[in-house]
Structure 1
């Protein structure tokens, strides 16, 4: 299947799912999910695989075993290309439209320790600051979970303490409902933005290598 954008029906599907997140709704609309959501996502990631690698297209089911929210289905469809532990490229479609991202998500303790070593080191830390500054100027939001205080072993007055407080670090961009998300142009947009995110992903990969 050649990628031609996410149909309007894919966003409408998630609008409706947010209102009626039940097995009866899912069973009645499973064909819409398969044809209008999952199939385009597979086509998109397949088209990007030669340059970035194979993607994991996530299952639509939530793990509710330990969650207070027992709704059974995710209200978005995501796909992730991993290039290092907890690190890689991301794309998602939901009722809010389409967004892309890249960086490190949900790093383990040992992985986070390696990343923080790179942030604290003068040369590599300053290089990361330049990468994030360039991404910000390019329209990316820089985010991720952060500690409220300095991580153990680091001075609260460290010149890069804001970076060191991060437990995850990523750049992301929301396309929302832009008309191009429903066309083949979206493929080029995701490719271009993942290329812009490559320095961040590569920096993270270097620390974890």
Structure 2
């Protein structure tokens, strides 16, 4: 049962952000399992009956494509997925608990479907659904997308190359209670109409084809 994060959770995340080294991890990493990861797994377990399987983020970063990134995560979190491929995420950092629901980025097919929907009647519905929400615009184009004019009434939506609605709350004593569970559950439920819109009009990303394995060397070579 989720009973909250102890105060050492945000303390540890702040410390690993300040000293993201193997030496720190070897000396202090045991705190991550008990104060950070354990409660996150308990939170995920209580959300799974309603939202499905939740992948809890590992403490180690995958640096294969970003070798310059820090080796250890400075946050913790979990990701669920809707039937249509929308992500429901929760992330705890040293300063805030945040939920984000939707798609961080669209692939080419999703982007085409999204823009078609925005230009037609579903665009009216989306504008209403997003009213009052904080929309993550870090993946928004700086310029105008090709084929559109800057004065288009929905140009802000058309600039998006992904769509996530975000809720965030500063850390505090409330984290050490069951309140984070109810807060995350309420945020994910409230974003349900946005998820339904994305699942209906955008859908899941195309699967990435597996890389072909190299052919075995021929005999005699």
Structure 1-normalised TM-score?
0.89
Verify the 8 A CA contact 1:61 1:73 in the aligned structure 2. yes
Please identify runs of 4+ aligned residues in structure 1 that moved more than 4 A: none
How many residue pairs were aligned? 202
Q: Which residue of 2 aligns with 1:12?
A: 11
Q: Which residue of 2 aligns with 1:149?
A: 143
User: Rg bigger for which structure?
Assistant: 2
37-46 or 59-68: which moved more?
59-68
Please give the per-residue CA displacement for 1:46-71, whole angstroms capped at 9, x wherever unaligned.
11111111111122222334437342
Equivalent-residue separation in structure 1 for 2:99 and 2:50 (angstroms): 16
Other structure's SS at 1:127 match: helix
Equivalent-residue separation in structure 1 for 2:202 and 2:165 (angstroms): 18
Verify the 8 A CA contact 1:5 1:184 in the aligned structure 2. yes
Equivalent-residue separation in structure 2 for 1:35 and 1:101 (angstroms): 25
Q: Which residue of 2 aligns with 1:198?
A: 192
Q: Which residue of 1 aligns with 2:104?
A: 105
Displacement of 1:153 in angstroms is: 3.2
Unaligned residue ranges in structure 1 (runs of 5+): none
Structure 2-normalised TM-score?
0.84
Check if 1:163 corresponds to 2:168: no
Structure 2 vs 1, CA of residues 152 and 146 (structure 1 numbering), >3 Å: closer, same or farther? same
Equivalent-residue separation in structure 2 for 1:87 and 1:155 (angstroms): 29
Check if 1:189 corresponds to 2:183: yes
Query: Counting helix residues as a fraction of each chain, which structure ranks higher?
Result: 1
1:7-156 equivalent positions in 2, closer than 5 A: 7-67=6-66, 69-83=68-82, 87-121=86-120, 123-133=121-131, 136=132, 140-144=133-137, 145-156=139-150
